[in-house]
Chains A and B, each alone.
With several copies, the nearest count.
Chain A
Amino acid sequence: MQVKILYFAGLREALGCAGETVELPVGVGNVGELRAFLSARGDSWQTPLSRGNLRFAVNQRMAGPESAIGPGDEVAFFPPVTGG
C-alpha cells in the first residue's frame, strides 16, 4: 500500500526531507512498523527517527506507535510541539 509521509521542524531539517509518498511492504501496518521501516534506510534516517520523544499523527490526528495505517493515509513524524 501507498502512504504519504510528512516530517516537521527539527526532524524535517535533520532528514533534509519535508515529505514523501512511499510504497510500503507487507508487514508494515502501524506507525511503529513504519518508523522501523524508514530507520532501516541507513544512519541518516535511523538517528533522527530514534529520538525518544518523537510524536506521530495519522490523518492529522495525534497517534501512537500502535496506531494502524492504511492505504492512502497521511502519516506525520515530528518533535514535541512548541507553539503558543
Chain B
Amino acid sequence: MTPGAISVQREDFDPGREADALIAGRRDVGAVATFVGLVRDANEGCGVDAMTLEHYPGMTEAALEEIVADAQQRWPLQGVRVIHRYGRLETGARIVFVAVASAHRGAAFAACEFIMDFLKTRAPFWKKEETPDGGRWVDAREADDDAAARWQKKA
C-alpha cells in the first residue's frame, strides 16, 4: 500500500482531486471506481440536521489499513485511497471517500464496494444524529452485516 492511502481527518476533501492524484502520471490504469458517502437529511423517517462522528484514534487507521490490504490481496489494484472524516458534519457534507484504480473495471468496482462494506462493519466509527428531538446514536444496520458477509461466500 502506498503511503498516504488512508486519512482519518476532520477536514473536508476534494473527491475529484483525490481521484486525479491516484492516477497522476500513470498510463496503465484503465478504471477508477469511487464512492462518496454523505450526511442525508433523513434517516428512518426522522429529520436530521447534523451528526457527530466519534472514532477510536489509532484503531481506526489500523482497521482501514487491514481492509485495504485485504482488498489488495483479492484483486490486482493499482491504487487505493480512503478518507474518513470525524467530528460534527451537517447534512449534505461528505463523510467518506473510497477510490480504487485498476487495469479493469471489474476489479475496481468490486474492491471499492468491498472496502465500503467492511469499513461499515469493521472500522470503529460511531454516528450520533442531531434531530429536532435531541441526539440519537445511530443503530447498526443488519443490511451492513449482510453486505460484508456476502464477500465471505465468494472467497
Chain A interface (Cβ within 8 Å of chain B)? 6, 8-10, 12, 53, 57, 60-62, 76, 78-84
Contacts and interface: CB of A to CB of B under 8 A. Distances in A.
B127 interface: yes
Given A10-B126, A76-B56, 11 more contacts: A8-B126, A9-B54, A60-B58, A60-B59, A78-B124, A81-B123, A81-B125, A81-B140, A83-B55, A83-B119, A84-B116
Contacts of A12: 54
**Which DSSP category, helix, strand, loop or mixed, fits chain B's interface?**
mixed
Closest A-B pairs by Cβ, 7 of them? A83-B125, A80-B140, A9-B126, A60-B59, A84-B120, A10-B137, A82-B138
Contacts of A79: 126, 137, 140
B95 interface: yes
| Band of interface residues on B | 20 to 34
Interface string B109-149: 00000001001111111111000000001111100100000
Given A84-B37, A84-B96, A57 B56 contact: yes
Contacts of B140: 53, 79-82
Interface in B21-66: 37, 53-56, 58-59, 62-63
Contact of B139 (A62, A78, A82): A82
A78 B124 CA distance: 9
B126 A83 contact: yes
B84 interface: yes
User: Which of A9, A53, A62, A79 has most chain B Cβ within 10 Å?
Assistant: A9
B127 A83 contact: yes
Contact of A84 (B54, B56, B123, B139): B123
Contacts of B128: 9
Contacts of B84: 83-84
Nearest to B125: A83
A81 to B, nearest CB: 5
10 contacts: A60-B56, A60-B63, A62-B122, A81-B122, A82-B120, A82-B140, A83-B127, A84-B37, A84-B116, A84-B144
Contacts of A9: 54, 126, 128, 137
